[in-house]
């Protein structure tokens, strides 16, 4: 690593290696959709049992997310990512060897502990290392890797269709081992080091990940100044009025990232399509398309999030997401899903995934780590990430039941309405954090006006060249 210390591209290396945890997350979310076609027949699972096996990873993720932030605040971001990789490898092997549905569900709970821990730790870790100019791009590499994981899962599922479902789970140990080894070569978060009274080590880390022209001493001084303003962090401060605007934004993004319906498609696309009349091969191939759509959306969102900003990206792509879900719902009013109607189903489903994955899914992993103050960043990110997994669990458990009870049109129209509600929430509450330092974002919480307006004022002052007073 020392040979790259004067090259800012080292930060891309750090973001990519730690982002492999996102690949693991995406792979295990996606692979269950393909594997379930065969697991349900092998173990003779009812629709409810299918939902339970699918959802156990989400139960574990809630636990892992809530614990991950507190543990990373105590022991360091990097150490927790190392543990995430180790636990995931154990869970993947256990899933591959599961003798029955109960053992498979338990192994997926273990996988969920890892996935939840990664989702609450890695975005914070990258955000605290990244320079403001490219922080959005680097942080959402996690979501981009999620897209790679989902696509890889569906491709593996297509290739190993049949009784190869055990290999579908076991293959995940390869990237888990890569993450485990790679994290031993990466530095700790400089902001965590300052919070632990180790500014000298924080300065050394920043010198490794910043170009020679960067004023590292000034950056450390700004971090120390913000750190001095707050006493102990924890749940008391997370629930306090001071942090409430940030919590409203982060929890709202967490909720809408799930109830807008993208994971209902990712988890159950093959099941939904076979029930609509597609054969297994066609449903699995469409599942590959879903994985590709997640990746395309992630690439587009990653490319745009720093250029156009978080808020504008959401307000541009979420209305399109709502329109695509509406078209999908209306198509299912037809009794015969064949010919042109089948194409409309597939195209609208894939377009919805592209727009949703490229906007609200990007914001999920980025906005929380950006808006939370340093002293509560680990704990508060755990809360918002845990909420996301909770809503994910709700969608996972109810999607198939809702389709059976309400029908596909009503279920998907409900998801479309949630996309519209998300647009309203973003317009009213979500601030623009692109280009602001984490310390500027934190300072905006200390002023009397709305959080969104305070950050807009930071941008205005920068435009006219006035210095910002933290």
Each residue of 24-33: pLDDT tens digit? 888 887 788 7
What confidence tens digit (pLDDT) does each residue in 449-463 have?
677 777 777 666 655
- DSSP state at residue 214: S
- For residue 19, tell me if it sits in a domain: yes
* The two three-digit tokens of residue 115, written as one number: 């996935």
* Mean pLDDT, the chain, integer: 83
Under 8 Å between Cβ of 376 and 69: no
- For residue 39, tell me if it sits in a domain: yes
Domain extent at residue 93:
2-186+230-435
- For residue 417, tell me if it sits in a domain: yes
- For residue 456, tell me if it sits in a domain: no
Task: State residue 1's pLDDT score.
Answer: 39
Q: Could you tell me the CATH number of the domain that includes residue 275?
A: 1.20.1250.20
Task: State residue 464's pLDDT score.
Answer: 53
Please tell me which residue, 291 or 418, carries the higher pLDDT value. Answer: 418
Under 8 Å between Cβ of 254 and 395: no
Please tell me which residue, 323 or 126, carries the higher pLDDT value. Answer: 323
- For residue 147, tell me if it sits in a domain: yes
Please determine, for residue 378, whether its predicted confidence score (pLDDT) is greater than 50: yes
What average pLDDT score do residues 169-189 get?
91
- For residue 459, tell me if it sits in a domain: no
Please tell me which residue, 162 or 440, carries the higher pLDDT value. Answer: 440
Question: Measured between alpha carbons, how far is 451 from 227 in angstroms, rounded to an integer?
Answer: 20
Please tell me which residue, 328 or 49, carries the higher pLDDT value. Answer: 328
What average pLDDT score do residues 208-222 get?
86
* The two three-digit tokens of residue 439, written as one number: 């310390």
- For residue 210, tell me if it sits in a domain: no
What average pLDDT score do residues 173-183 get?
92
Domain tally, the chain:
1
- For residue 441, tell me if it sits in a domain: no
What is the enclosing helix (H) or strand (E) of 386? Answer: helix 377-406
Task: State residue 351's pLDDT score.
Answer: 95
Highest mean pLDDT (candidates 46-60, 180-194, 271-285, 385-399) = 180-194
């Amino acid at each position: 690593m020392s040979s790259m210390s004067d090259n800012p591209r080292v930060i891309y290396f750090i973001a990519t290696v730690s982002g492999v945890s996102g690949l693991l997350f995406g792979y295990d979310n996606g692979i269950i959709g393909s594997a379930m076609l065969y697991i349900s027949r092998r173990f003779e699972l009812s629709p409810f049992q299918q939902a339970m096996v699918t959802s156990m990873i989400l139960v574990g993720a809630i636990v892992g997310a809530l614990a991950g932030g507190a543990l990373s605040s105590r022991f360091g971001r990097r150490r927790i990512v190392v543990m995430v990789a180790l636990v995931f490898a154990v869970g993947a092997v256990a899933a591959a060897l599961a003798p029955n549905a109960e053992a498979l569900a338990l192994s997926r709970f273990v996988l969920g502990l890892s996935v939840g821990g990664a989702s609450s730790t890695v975005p914070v870790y990258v955000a605290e290392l990244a320079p403001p100019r490219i922080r959005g791009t680097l942080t959402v590499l996690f979501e981009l890797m999620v897209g790679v994981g989902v696509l890889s899962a569906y491709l593996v599922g297509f290739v190993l269709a049949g009784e190869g479902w055990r290999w579908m789970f076991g293959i995940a140990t390869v990237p888990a081992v890569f993450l485990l080894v790679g994290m031993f070569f990466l530095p700790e978060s400089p902001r965590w080091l300052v919070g632990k009274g180790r500014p000298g080590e924080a300065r050394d880390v920043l010198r490794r990940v910043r170009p020679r022209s960067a004023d590292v001493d000034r950056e450390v001084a700004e971090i120390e100044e913000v750190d001095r303003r707050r006493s102990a962090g924890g749940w008391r401060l997370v629930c306090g009025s001071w942090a409430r605007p940030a919590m409203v934004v982060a929890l709202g993004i967490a909720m809408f990232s799930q109830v807008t319906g993208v994971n209902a498609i990712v988890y159950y696309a093959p099941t939904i399509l076979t029930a609509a009349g597609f054969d297994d091969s066609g449903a699995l191939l469409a599942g590959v398309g879903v994985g590709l759509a997640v990746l395309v959306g992630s690439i587009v969102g990653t490319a745009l999030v720093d250029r156009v900003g978080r808020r504008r990206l959401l307000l541009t792509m979420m209305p399109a997401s709502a329109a695509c879900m509406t078209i999908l719902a209306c198509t299912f009013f037809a009794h015969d899903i064949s010919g042109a109607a089948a194409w409309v189903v597939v195209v609208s489903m894939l377009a919805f995934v592209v727009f949703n994955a490229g906007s609200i899914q990007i914001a999920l992993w980025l906005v929380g780590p950006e808006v939370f103050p340093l002293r509560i960043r680990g704990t508060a990110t755990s809360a918002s990430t845990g909420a996301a997994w909770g809503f994910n669990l709700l969608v996972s458990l109810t999607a198939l039941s809702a389709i059976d009870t309400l029908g596909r049109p009503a279920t998907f129209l409900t998801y479309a309405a949630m996309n519209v509600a998300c647009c309203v929430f973003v317009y009213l509450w979500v601030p623009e954090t692109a280009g602001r330092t984490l310390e500027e974002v934190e300072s905006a919480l200390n002023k009397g006006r709305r959080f969104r307006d305070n950050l807009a004022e930071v941008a205005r002052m920068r435009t006219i060249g006035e210095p910002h007073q933290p």
